[in-house]
Amino acid sequence: MKLICIGRNYRDHASELNNPVPTRPLIFMKPPSALLLNNKPFYYPAFTQDLQHEVEVILKISKNGRHIQPAFASGYYQEVGLGIDFTARDVQSELKSKGHPWELAKAFDHSAVVSSFMPLGARDPHALSFHLTKNGEIVQQGNTADLIFDFDYLITYISQFFKLQMGDLIFTGTPAGVGPVQIGDELVGYLEGKEMFTCEIK
């Protein structure tokens, strides 16, 4: 399975990091070894002094497809989850300044917190509210109505380059409010008012 991630997909987050708003989706990947499931704790890695949370809605791909046309894109996902795209911001800044790839800052072990999934059912996928708390206080909140590139556009775009396969996950981008975590912090993610995951930093 693949973990496909979208960068800068909410205007307010692109601007908080002084990045331009993209005209095409910014895509990167994490390997399966990045998964952190079942509310397991995250162990702060030694290679960073600035580990940051990015809470994101996750799409689970429900059937295989390539070159998916926009009219059919919504048929490729039926469930959504919530997760964290953990980012070593200091490492990322150095890589960005050199024009190098981001993997060391984004794709390391357990950098992808993934919750259980809920069926979309009759919900509008582009009106999902979500938020993240750190030690009980809201640090990020967003709504998929504010996506720059919506889910269907992402499915169409990504599938021009990569075959989407059942079980692949798409991290759809983070809203404003990204920030550092410290050992001892507890992160809790909520989607549509429902608690989706907890993650303790150890």
Q: Which residues bind Mg ion (CB under 5 A)?
A: 54, 85, 174
In angstroms, give the least distance from the CB of 87 to Mg ion.
7
Residue 28 or residue 44: which is nearer to Mg ion going by CB? 28
Question: Encoding tokens for residue 193?
Answer: 């008012």
Strand 129-134 relative to strand 137-143, pairing:
antiparallel
In angstroms, give the least distance from the CB of 84 to Mg ion.
9
The residue with its CB nearest to Mg ion is 85
Residue 48 or residue 174: which is nearer to Mg ion going by CB? 174
Residue 17 or residue 120: which is nearer to Mg ion going by CB? 17
In angstroms, give the least distance from the CB of 182 to Mg ion.
20
Residue 58 or residue 68: which is nearer to Mg ion going by CB? 58
The sign of the CA dihedral 38, 186, 78, 64 is negative
Q: Count the alpha carbons within 13 Å of 110 in the hemisphere toward its beta carbon.
A: 15
Residue 187 to residues 81, 103, 181, Cα–Cα distance (Å): 16, 23, 9
Q: What's the length of the chain?
A: 202
Residue 113 to residues 57, 73, 77, 95, 124, Cα–Cα distance (Å): 11, 25, 19, 23, 24
Residue 75 to residues 13, 55, 158, Cα–Cα distance (Å): 29, 25, 15
In angstroms, give the least distance from the CB of 178 to Mg ion.
8
In angstroms, give the least distance from the CB of 175 to Mg ion.
10
Residue 65 or residue 81: which is nearer to Mg ion going by CB? 81
Strand 26-30 relative to strand 186-191, pairing:
unpaired
